[in-house]
Amino acid sequence: MNDIFIEFYLDEDVDILIAELIRSQGFQAVTTDEVGRKGKSDPQQLEYAVSRQIVIVTHNRLDF
Whole-Å CA distances, 48 to 21, 26, 44, 60: 22, 22, 6, 16
pLDDT for residue 6? 87
pLDDT for residue 59? 85
**Model pTM above 0.85:** no
pLDDT digits (tens, 9 = 90+) for 9-64: 999 999 999 999 999 999 999 999 999 999 999 899 999 999 999 999 998 766 66
pLDDT for residue 2? 54
